[in-house]
Amino acid sequence: MLNSKQRAFLRSLAADADTIVMVGKGGLADNIVKQTEDALTARELVKGKALETAPEDARECAERLAAATHSEVVQVIGRKFVLYRRNRENPVIELPKVRQPK
The answer to whether residue 78 is domain-embedded is yes
pLDDT in tens, 61-81: 999 999 999 999 999 999 999
pTM: 0.91
Q: Under 8 Å CB-to-CB from 73, ≥6 apart: which residues? A: 62, 63, 66, 81, 82, 83
CATH number of the domain where residue 61 is located = 3.30.110.60
The answer to whether residue 72 is domain-embedded is yes
pLDDT in tens, 6-51: 999 999 999 999 999 999 999 999 999 999 999 999 999 999 999 9
What does the H/E/C string look like for 27-70? CCCHHHHHHHHHHHHHHCEEEEEECCCCCCCHHHHHHHHHHHHC
- Per DSSP, what are the bridge partners of residue 75? 82
The answer to whether residue 97 is domain-embedded is no
Residue 48 CA to residue 43 CA, distance in Å, equals: 13
Residues 39/21, Cβ–Cβ less than 8 Å: yes
| Per-residue model confidence (pLDDT) at position 52 | 94
Total structural domains in the chain? 1
The answer to whether residue 13 is domain-embedded is yes
